[in-house]
Structure formats: structure tokens, C-alpha cells
Structure 1
Amino acid sequence: MEEATPFPMVAANVMGYAFPSCAKSNAFQHSNAQGPQNASGRRMTCEPELRHLPSLLHHMQHVELVLHQEANVETPFGIVQCNMKGVVKGNRPVILTYHDIGLNYKTCFSNLFDHKDMQEITRYFSVCHVNAPGQEEDASTIPTGFTYPSMDQLSETIPLVLQHFNIKSIIGIAVGAGAYILAQFALIHPELVEGLVLININAHAEDWMDWASHKISGWTHHVPDMIISHLFGNEEIHKNHDRIADFRHHVLNRINQRNLELFVKSYNSRRNLHVERPPPGANLNVRTLKCPSLLVVGDSSPAVAAVVDFNSRMNPTKTTLLKMADCGGLPQDDQPAKLAEAFKYFIQGLGYMPAVRMTRLSRSGSSSFSQDAVQENNSPVEKQHRHSHSNVSMDNDSDSSTELSLLRTTHPDQVSC
């Protein structure tokens, strides 16, 4: 794959034009004005740039629309609101996100994508944030009688989103319900997915006892508590009272309650994904994710058991399990720097961003090797097929840098921390 080039970060770079330093002072005046002078006393002017200013402003306005575009994509299962950041390039995948229940793309991913380490990635990739129907901010109430889409049907809206933005392939990053949706999408459309980062994925159908409990207790007053127990572990619920109170307030006051209830019911009605692990050395046509996958979970997350189980059923040559230390149920919120660093490593494994050095990344284990050696000795194609089933732990060290220990193991469901 070709080495990616960064997107222009300022509109003034459009079409090769750039504002000179005098543009920061009084250069844009009428022609009689005395402009700034250089060391020799000669007048400096911006007249060539002024001549091109109308065309430049026209293209700046156009690029601004392209770099940050919101769209309501019509699908057979309702309107899907999306936020597109960046310019789609045909030879490069787009990072596509999908949020969990009780969240939308802003509340789920803002801390991660606003982090400086993640912005280094978004210089090279455009990003498409997808909201489940009715979960965006200030959403209108979904009409009574509308059948909210199932998890499978939500996955079927993704191709229409890609078609709308002319996206050829994606690298997905999703949490909880969103992780289930993108995994289902990748199973049906493997040719459209180059890689997946799945946080807190639960591939099993809901336990019948939980289903009965929800029916008996009623949905309206039960939804906030259910979402909190879904997103946060018991330790965090009992110790971090302020955070839980803030989140409860968010669920009750910032999200359309009717729409949220429908999304939660859809998630709790999900079916098993039925992913199968290929037998060792066999090339059987089993139902499994074809793309490299990074499974992520915090060490105190309520989703640990579900993620470990999903990992045990994945293709061991294409899957890495990342268990993050000192982290609860929202790794993208609790440890954005660590997750961004792991995401950069994952993207480099796909053959992209080879020039970006992983200065805070260390690797150890029976097959330890340096990142520089990987970049020097492996072609993008070789790197794309280098993935092996690994367990990963990320722990804090004294200088708050990220340490990633890659442990090769013959026990794929063992998680190290």
C-alpha cells in the first residue's frame, strides 16, 4: 500500500495558495496604503495573493464543507445521522465509528478523537461517525408504530452510509452495541472491512433471566440503571459516585428517552453472532471475521468475560486481545492516550502510516522485536499478514508513558494484565 500523505490542516493550503506572513498584519488594505517593509526598506505587498483571493475563498468554502459534513442518510430502517470529517480518497480506507447504548458519537468518542495522539492518525485518515437512528443530540421522538431496526438491520444500514460518502473500505472502531453491529457487518461484507477495533463486544444473545427481569421491572425507570450497569463495573459504580451521577443525568436529560428505549430493546434482543474458530492448520470455510481485529476491554469492565469468550472463538492468526489496566468500562474515555497508541500500532500492522514512530511503545515476549525493524524489513503486504493471535496488557509506568507488552501464548483465552 502507498504511504499516506496528511490531509491539509488549514484551508489556506488549498490549490497551492498560502497566505504570507504579511497577511497577519495590515497587508489586506487598499492599494494606496503603506504596507509593511522588509530589512532593506522596500515595501512588501500581497497583491498576487489579493488577485487570487476570490478564487481562493471559493475553494476554501468548498473544502470546509467537505472536511466536516453532517448528513442524514436515508435507509429502509430509518434515517441514520452521520458526521464525516476529511476527504474520502479511493485508495485509502475511512475510519468508521459506532457508539454504544446510552451514548452517541460525540459522547462516546470525543475524548479519544480530541486527543493529540489520535489527531496524528486523523491527519492521514478521514473519519465517519455514525449515530444509531434517533440517538443523536436533539433528536426528534421516533413516531409510535415505527419498528426500530434490529441489530442485524442496523448493520445493513452501513453499506448505504458508505455508498452515500463514496467510501470503498473502512477501518472500524466501535463500542458495545456498535461493536456488535460492525462485527455483523464485517461478517456479511468482508470485502469492505480492512480492520476492526471492537471495544466491550458481547457476541452472545441476552440471557433469558435478564430479559425476564427487564420485562417485570418495566423499561421506563429501569433503562438508566441498566445502561450504567452495562457501561460501568461494580467497583466504579460504588466508588465513583460523581461520575455515575453525571452519567445518570446525561441519560435522563440529554437523550431522547423514547428513542433510547427502542435502541436498548434492539440491543437486548440481539442474536448470537455464531463466530467460529478455524481448526489449526485447516482451511475450512467457517464463519469468522476475515479482517485483522483488535479486541479491547478495561480490566474492571463488566464486559471482560464476554470479550474473552469472543476472543476464544476468533481466528488466532488475525486477532489481538488488549486488556487495559486501571481502566473501567469506557477505555476510550478512561485511557484515550493508551488506546490511541494501540490504534496506531494496529493501523501500522495493516500497512499504513509506516513513517510514524511509536516512541512510547515497547514490546516484549518470546518474539520481541523493535518497531523500526518492522518498518525496515517488512513490506506493507507482509505487514498486513503479520498478525497473530496475541494477548496484550497495557499498564501505567512511572513517566505516564504507554507500555504495550505483546505476549505470544499457546492459551489464547488467557488475558495478561
Structure 2
Amino acid sequence: MSNLLYFYGMCGLVKDLLLKRYFSKEVRGSAQVLESDIVQACRRLLDERQSTNVWRFLEALNGRPDLTEGLRSLHCRSLIFVGENSPFHSEALYMTSKVDRRYSALVEVQACGSMVTEEQPHAMLIPIEYFLMGYGLCRPTLSVSPRSPLSPSCISPELLSPESMGLKLKPIKTRISTVV
């Protein structure tokens, strides 16, 4: 795709390949079904972009270093969403196999491509709720299986500190105005 983009620019084939890479077949449409609004919007945005910038973006993605070695030592909780029709589905499964299962969970969303947040945002609600319950940030509405990687009982206490969750808390300074 990078070579096509470099030599031919933002042609129809490159747009179709990019859309196929990120969106499921259902959302992209067919002869009988129109493209969804999000795919039409992305197609318009691709028309507006300079092909050299999109090419540079793809080259930056292709040049990223491999993170596999550091995944085993990752101790923050991770929630990985992947669409069942995503071209990155096998990569998500591989990544999940390399991360400590006590700290991660994989959510596979049916009839979805790579853009889960755009295609089926409602499918993310319950997994995110369970994820937040694990940190005590959300009250449970359903019963959670004690063996689930999203279960609050699976979290070691040191992971519940604000620093381990990536939060940098600073004290809030307040001023009390005195009336004279």
C-alpha cells in the first residue's frame, strides 16, 4: 500500500485499501447497502489529505519498533479491543498471549473491523465498566465471575495506587479570601 501511495498518490484503490484495513465489510457497504456515514466521512477526509503526508504516516507505522520483549514486564492493566474482522486480529491475539493474563483482557467484537470505537461503541460499554470496577472506580451492576481477568479480586493492591494507574496527582492549592 505504501508503494501504491508513493507512486500513484491518493487514488481510488489506495482509499479502498485503507478503508478495508480499518472498517468491516458491513460498515463499508456493498452494491445493495450504502456505505455508513463514518466510512463516507473518512473517504472525504482522504480526498482532502496530501498523499505524501499519508505515505509518511504509513511509513512511520511500518517503522515502529517491536514491543514484544517489553510486554511480559508490563504490569498495568490493559484492555485490548479488536474487531473479529480486523486485519490486526491475529496481532491482538499474539499480543495478548505475551502479556501477563493477570493484568490484561482481550475483547473481541463481532462484525467489526479495526475501528471498534467508531463501528460499535456500544459493544465497549460493559467491558469498560468491568475494567473500571476492577479499580474501584465504578459500582458493580452485574455479578462478576471471580475467575475473570476483569474481576476486582484479581488485582494486586500495589496496582490500585494512583501512580500505578498512570495518574500524576498534584495537591490542589486553594486560597481563602478574607473579607476585611
The structure in which a higher percent of residues are helix is 2
Indicate conservation of the 8 Å contact 1:298/1:327, yes or no: yes
Q: In structure 1, what residue type is equivalent to 2:157?
A: V
Instruction: State the shift of 1:264 in Å.
Output: 2.0
Q: Which residue of 1 aligns with 2:35?
A: 242
Percent identical pairs in the alignment equals 23
SS of aligned partner of 1:302:
coil
| d(CA) in 1 for partners of 2:113, 2:143 | 23
Indicate conservation of the 8 Å contact 1:351/1:383, yes or no: no
Which has the higher Rg, Structure 1 or Structure 2? 1
Q: Which residue of 2 aligns with 1:381?
A: 157
Indicate conservation of the 8 Å contact 1:352/1:380, yes or no: no
- Cα 1:258–1:345 change in 2 (3 A) is same
Task: Determine whether 1:305 maps to 2:100.
Answer: no
- Cα 1:262–1:362 change in 2 (3 A) is farther
SS of aligned partner of 1:317:
coil
Instruction: State the shift of 1:267 in Å.
Output: 0.7
Q: Which residue of 2 aligns with 1:224?
A: 15
**Residues 162-189 of structure 1: per-residue CA shift (max 9 Å, x gap):** xxxxxxxxxxxxxxxxxxxxxxxxxxxx
**Residues 111-149 of structure 1: per-residue CA shift (max 9 Å, x gap):** xxxxxxxxxxxxxxxxxxxxxxxxxxxxxxxxxxxxxxx
1:148-167 equivalences in 2 (<5 Å): none
Aligned length, in residue pairs: 151
Instruction: State the shift of 1:330 in Å.
Output: 1.7
Instruction: State the shift of 1:263 in Å.
Output: 1.7
| d(CA) in 2 for partners of 1:351, 1:338 | 21
SS of aligned partner of 2:99:
coil
| d(CA) in 2 for partners of 1:335, 1:329 | 10
Across the aligned residues of Structure 1 and Structure 2, the Cα RMSD in angstroms comes to 3.5
Q: Which residue of 2 aligns with 1:328?
A: 113
1:358-373 equivalences in 2 (<5 Å): 358=141, 361=142, 363=144, 367=147
Instruction: State the shift of 1:271 in Å.
Output: 2.6
Q: Which residue of 2 aligns with 1:388?
A: none
SS of aligned partner of 2:105:
strand
Instruction: State the shift of 1:248 in Å.
Output: 1.5
Indicate conservation of the 8 Å contact 2:83/2:113, yes or no: yes
| d(CA) in 1 for partners of 2:154, 2:108 | 27
Q: Which residue of 2 aligns with 1:274?
A: 68
Instruction: State the shift of 1:275 in Å.
Output: 3.2
| d(CA) in 2 for partners of 1:259, 1:322 | 32
Structure 2: gaps of 5 or more residues: 162-180
TM-score, normalised relative to structure 1: 0.31
Structure 1: gaps of 5 or more residues: 1-212, 278-286, 386-417
Indicate conservation of the 8 Å contact 1:223/1:261, yes or no: no
Higher relative contact order (CA 8 A, sep 6+): 2
- Cα 1:237–1:275 change in 2 (3 A) is farther
| d(CA) in 1 for partners of 2:99, 2:147 | 21
Q: Which residue of 1 aligns with 2:124?
A: 339
Q: In structure 1, what residue type is equivalent to 2:46?
A: V
TM-score, normalised relative to structure 2: 0.64
Task: Determine whether 1:261 maps to 2:55.
Answer: yes
Q: In structure 1, what residue type is equivalent to 2:56?
A: L
